[in-house]
Structure 1
C-alpha cells in the first residue's frame, strides 16, 4: 500500500480517485490497509486544494486555471477526503463538539454549494459525465440532499434522462454511459433516514448514519442510503425517507414554525427518531419539551421489553431505555436518552452489535418489513389538477374516545381520489353525532383506537342520521380491539332492528361501484398475527335492507 500511495502522489487526480476507491473497496472487505496510506492520501488531497476550496488537474497548475477549482476535480477531491475521514477521523468524535468536518471538507462543500450545476461541469468544459459521477459520490458520502438549495439527484437525473440517446446510451460511448448509469442507479437507492440539520449541535457524530446504513445494506443485501435535510425546505421535501433522525448534544432550538413542520411530517406518515448524543441531558430535556408541544395529546413512555423494536428481527435487551410516543395506531416518535450514535460513529460492529441491530429493528418496524421506494418517490401524494366528475361530502365524527389519531388520513384519501378517479372529496369539520345532518353531509366517517360510550342523545342521533339516509364509515384505526368491541356494543344498542354481519364478497360495493375489488392488502404484522387473507373483511349494519354502516375492524385510517 505504501508503494501504491507514493505512486499516486505522482499521478493525475482522476487516476488517484479511482485507485483510492479500489483500496477503499478492499478495506471494506477486510483487506488490511495501513493507516499511513490514508494519511498520505489525505495530505495529498489537502495540499492540492485551491484557495477557492475547489480542486483542478495537477498538470494545469502552471496554466491560466491556476488557483481555480472546477467541478469534476472538486468532486474527486471531496470524495477522496470523505473516504480518508472515515478511515482516519472516526474517533475524533467520541466527544461531542460543534466542528464536525475537516477544514478541507468544509471549504470543498462551500465550493459545491456555490458552484453546483446539473447541466455542465462547473468552470470547466467537457468531462460532464465524469463530473456527475463525482457529484453522486460526494452526495452519498456527505449525506447532503442539497448543494446550496439544489437537489443534486433530482436535477442530475432530469438532465441525464433528457440527454439519453434513443439506443439507450449517452453520446454513444461506453465510458459516458457507464458514468451516467452509476449516477442514476446508485443515486436512486432508497433513503432510509433523513438527518435533520437544525440550529444547534445537530451533527456531533457526522458518520453515524453513513456507517449504520452501510451495515444494513451489507447485512440484508438491500442497499439503503441516508441524507441530510434542513428546516428551510417544505415538508414535502422530507418524504424521501420514512424516518427523521434528530441527534443533539445541546438543547434543540426549534421555533413554533419548526415544530409545525415536525408535526406535519409525522401526520403525513413519518416517524421521528431522536437521541441524546454524548448522553446530553439538556438535549434530552429540550427534546421532551418539543415533543410535548408537537404531540400534546400523547405521552412519551418507556417502551416495554416485548415491544417490536426490541424483538422484530433481532432479540435486544430492553436495557437500551427507548421511549416512544404512540397515537394508539403506531409510534409517532422514538426517543433514546442514552446515545446510540457513538457505536455507529465508531463502527463498533462487534462490541456494539446490539446498537446496529436496534437500528435494523427500527427500520423493519417503521416500514412493516416492506421494500422502500427509490429516492425521489414521496410517501405523501402530490396534488394533481383534475376536473371533478362528482363530489363526495364527508363529515368526520368527533366522539369521547381517541377520535382523531391520524389527522391527515382523510386529507390523503381526498388527494388520491382526485388524482386517481377525478372525484372531489370535501372533508367537513369535526362534527358531534348529535349534529350530523345527512342533507349536508350524506357520508360520515368515524374512527378510534380506544373504548368509548355513547350517550342516549348520541345513540338517538346516530339512529336518526342513518334512518334519514346517511351512511357511516367506521374503522378501528390500527385494528384496535377495544374500539371494535365498543362499536359493536354501542351500535347494536343504538340500532336494535339492524342486521349486523360480514359484507359478502359479491356486494355491489366490491363488484359494481368503481373499480372491482377482489382482494385487499393488510399490514404484514396484522396478517401474520391475526389472519392470513387477501379478501376484504368488512362488516356492516343493514337498516331495512340498506347497508347503512360500513365497518372495518382491521383499520382503514392508518393505511
Structure 2
C-alpha cells in the first residue's frame, strides 16, 4: 500500500542557488564544536554540570554526559578515545538512571560494537519495564502513575531509543509499539500537529512537539508497520500524512530558541531523514538549520553555548549531512512506500560500508543537478516518467536509472527504457552482471540492461518492495546493495551539500567526427568551447579530440586523417572512451607504424589516481604516449578521461579520477 503525502513539497537541494552553506562550513563547525566539548570534559564528572540545574535534561545525573557522548560518536570521535571511554563507564555506573538517560544509553550502545550488546539488551528491557502500557510512555523517574501526564519529549526519546535497539536486532513486543501509537494518536490535534500538553488535545500545535509526535509515529511505522492490520496501518499513515502536512505549512526554526531550538533541529533531522525529505515548508531544512546553528553557537575562533545545546547542535550537523546512498523518484505529491525500499537498502549499504548513509526523494520538477546528487535513481512507479528528454539529459550527464517492476509493469518499464535509450541494445542477465556479484552473490535476479559500451544507463530489475523485504537477506536486496556500492565506486559518497565541480579550459577544442563512437560521453566537453567537425573541416592548427571505444573502430582513413591533421600543426588527443577497449592503443600502434616513429611517454607533473573499477581490479593507469608528426603532436591515452570529467561516479569505467583527468586536460591544453 502506498500512502500519498499530498502537501509535502520535496524540492531541489543540490543547486541551492549560490549555496550560503557548504560542506566546508559544516566540517569547520563540527570540528569547532567537537573541540569545545572535548575541552569541557572533566575526569570525574565527564560532561555533567557541577550543580544540577533545572534544565529539562541536565538536572538528571548522567544525561548531559550521555547526550554529549552520543553527539561526539555521531561526529566521528572514536569510542576508544579516553574521554569517551570514561564517559561510557560514568553513565553506566549511574544507579537510578532517569528515562532520558536510559534512552540515551540505548542509542549509544546501538552505535557501539557487539561487545556492548548485553548493555543494549539490559537497558532496553529496563526501559520497556518502566513504560506504562496504559499511558504509552514514561515518567522521568520510574513507571508513570495512572493519572500522570506523559511528556511528549520523553516519549520521543524513548521511541528513538527503541527504534535504535530494533535496528540492532533487539526484539520489542508489538504491544509496546501499539501503546505508544495509541497515546501519540490520541494527543494529535485535528490540524495534524501536537502541543506540549499531553492531556487530550489542549494547547496550540508547535513545531517542536509536532516533530516529537512524528518521530514516535515514524518509529512505530518502521519497526512494526508491516505487522499492523489494514485499518491500523491506514490510521497510522493518515496521521503521518496530516503531521507532515502541518509541518510543511507551519514548521519553522524561528519561533523558539535555546535548547528548544537545538533539540528541535535534531528531532526535525530525524523526521526528514526518515522520510527522505529535502525541504520543509519550501525551505531546505538542513541549510536553514545550519545557519541558525552557526549563528547561535559558532564564534570566530571557538564554539559557544551550553554543553547540552552544543551536543544537540553537533548531532544535527553531523547526522543531517550524511552521504546520500540513493534517491527515489516519486510523484510530485510525494509518496511513502509501505515497504520502505529506499530506507531498507540504505540501511543495508550503511552496514556493509560501515558509514552512516541517507536517502532522499526526488520529483520530476527538480533540476537534473539535484537528480545527480545520488549515485542512481530508483523508480518503482513507471507513471512518474513523463519528460523523456529530461531523463535522456540526466543519463547523458552521468546518471543511472534503476526500475523495479513485476507483471505487466515489467514490460512497460522495458518499453520506457527503450524509448529513453533508442540507440542502445538491451541485454538480459540472470547472473554474471556486476550487480549480481560485486560484493555479495545475488544470482537468479533478472536484469534487463541498457549499456552503451561505456557504462550502464538503465537497469530494469524484476522485483518489488514486497519481494525485497520478504526476507532480511533476499537476493533482490543483495543485488541492490551491489548496484548502490558499484555506482558510487565503493566509497565516493556525496553529501547533501555537495556541489559538482566544473572547469573550462581556456583553449578551444574540436571533437573530430569519424565512423566510430566519436560522440560517446561528450556532455562534459559540450559545456566547454568546443566544435564538432569532420577532419576535412579542420584547416588551422587546433587542439583535436579523437575518441573511440574499441579497436575495430580504427580504419585506414581515420589513421590517415589523424596524421595529416597533425602534420599541419594540430595537437591530436586520442582517447579510449570508458577505458575497457583499446581504441587509443591500437591507433597509436598504427600511427607509429605509418610514420616510423617511436612513441615516447608524456611526463605528468602529478601522480594520477584511478576510478573504482580500476582500483578494485588493480589495473595500472597507462602512461600517455606522444608522437611528433610534422608541426604537430599526437597523444594517445589508452583509458578514459571524458567520463571522469562528468564528475559522476559509475561502475565499469577504467581510467583517471576526476581530479587527475582535470589536471591532465589542463596540461594538454597549455
SS at match of 1:392: coil
Residues of 2 paired with 1:146 and 1:174: CA distance?
Answer: 28
Alignment-derived partner of residue 396 in structure 1: 511
Alignment-derived partner of residue 469 in structure 1: 569
| Contact 1:53 1:110 survives alignment (8 Å) | yes
Residues of 2 paired with 1:77 and 1:467: CA distance?
Answer: 74
Q: Deviations over 1:322-371 (max 9, x none)?
A: 121112111112210233x224445x224x2x333222211222122223
Q: Is 1:55 matched with 2:194?
A: yes
Residues of 1 paired with 2:537 and 2:498: CA distance?
Answer: 41
Residues of 2 paired with 1:528 and 1:165: CA distance?
Answer: 41
Alignment-derived partner of residue 131 in structure 1: 264
Q: Is 1:334 matched with 2:437?
A: no
SS at match of 2:479: helix
Which of 425, 428, 440 is the equivalent residue of 1:314?
Answer: 440
User: CA 1:443/1:114 → structure 2, altered by over 3 Å: closer, same or farther?
Assistant: same
Which of 162, 167, 170 is the equivalent residue of 1:23?
Answer: 162
Residues of 2 paired with 1:484 and 1:42: CA distance?
Answer: 64
Alignment-derived partner of residue 264 in structure 1: 393
Residues of 2 paired with 1:218 and 1:456: CA distance?
Answer: 53
1:190 CA displacement: 0.4
User: CA 1:93/1:223 → structure 2, altered by over 3 Å: closer, same or farther?
Assistant: farther
Q: Is 1:381 matched with 2:501?
A: yes
Alignment-derived partner of residue 431 in structure 2: 305
Alignment-derived partner of residue 449 in structure 2: 324
SS at match of 1:478: coil
| Contact 1:284 1:337 survives alignment (8 Å) | yes
Residues of 2 paired with 1:450 and 1:101: CA distance?
Answer: 56
User: CA 1:107/1:478 → structure 2, altered by over 3 Å: closer, same or farther?
Assistant: same
1:15 CA displacement: 1.0
Residues of 1 paired with 2:229 and 2:567: CA distance?
Answer: 68
1:498 CA displacement: 5.4
Cα RMSD over matched residues? 3.1
Residues of 2 paired with 1:170 and 1:301: CA distance?
Answer: 56
Q: Is 1:77 matched with 2:203?
A: no
Residues of 2 paired with 1:148 and 1:285: CA distance?
Answer: 38
Residues of 1 paired with 2:481 and 2:237: CA distance?
Answer: 30
| Contact 2:554 2:583 survives alignment (8 Å) | no
1:458 CA displacement: 5.0
Alignment-derived partner of residue 432 in structure 1: 534
Which of 511, 525, 533 is the equivalent residue of 1:410?
Answer: 525
1:167 CA displacement: 7.5
Gaps of 5+ in 2: 1-127, 139-148, 645-670
Alignment-derived partner of residue 320 in structure 2: 187
| Contact 2:431 2:445 survives alignment (8 Å) | no
1:80 CA displacement: 0.9
Q: Is 1:364 matched with 2:485?
A: yes
Alignment-derived partner of residue 284 in structure 1: 410
Moved more, 549-558 or 458-467: 458-467
Which of 599, 619, 639 is the equivalent residue of 1:501?
Answer: 599
SS at match of 1:444: strand
User: CA 1:458/1:329 → structure 2, altered by over 3 Å: closer, same or farther?
Assistant: closer
1:377 CA displacement: 0.7
Residues of 1 paired with 2:421 and 2:173: CA distance?
Answer: 50
Which of 227, 231, 246 is the equivalent residue of 1:111?
Answer: 246
1:522 CA displacement: 1.5
Alignment-derived partner of residue 422 in structure 1: none
| Contact 1:51 1:67 survives alignment (8 Å) | no
1:270 CA displacement: 2.2
| Contact 1:477 1:558 survives alignment (8 Å) | yes
TM-score relative to the length of structure 2: 0.69
| Contact 2:193 2:205 survives alignment (8 Å) | yes
Alignment-derived partner of residue 518 in structure 1: 606
1:262 CA displacement: 2.2
1:547 CA displacement: 5.7
Residues of 2 paired with 1:498 and 1:186: CA distance?
Answer: 61
Q: Deviations over 1:385-424 (max 9, x none)?
A: xxx9x8311111222112222131324xx6xxxxxxxxxx
| Contact 2:174 2:224 survives alignment (8 Å) | yes
Residues of 1 paired with 2:435 and 2:250: CA distance?
Answer: 43
Q: Deviations over 1:137-185 (max 9, x none)?
A: 1011111222243222223223322333328776510111111111110
Residues of 1 paired with 2:318 and 2:252: CA distance?
Answer: 19
Alignment-derived partner of residue 366 in structure 2: 233
Alignment coverage as a number of residue pairs: 503
SS at match of 2:380: strand
User: CA 1:280/1:120 → structure 2, altered by over 3 Å: closer, same or farther?
Assistant: farther
TM-score relative to the length of structure 1: 0.82
User: CA 1:21/1:39 → structure 2, altered by over 3 Å: closer, same or farther?
Assistant: same
Which of 349, 352, 364 is the equivalent residue of 1:216?
Answer: 349
| Contact 2:296 2:305 survives alignment (8 Å) | no
Residues of 1 paired with 2:393 and 2:555: CA distance?
Answer: 33
Q: Is 1:542 matched with 2:644?
A: no
Residues of 1 paired with 2:515 and 2:228: CA distance?
Answer: 54
* Greater relative contact order (CA < 8 Å, ≥ 6 in sequence): 2
Alignment-derived partner of residue 6 in structure 2: none
Residues of 1 paired with 2:480 and 2:334: CA distance?
Answer: 22
Which of 20, 23, 38 is the equivalent residue of 2:177?
Answer: 38
SS at match of 1:297: coil
**Structure with higher strand content:** 1
Alignment-derived partner of residue 110 in structure 2: none
Q: Deviations over 1:440-489 (max 9, x none)?
A: xx111121223455666655543332111111111101113352455246
Residues of 1 paired with 2:364 and 2:429: CA distance?
Answer: 29
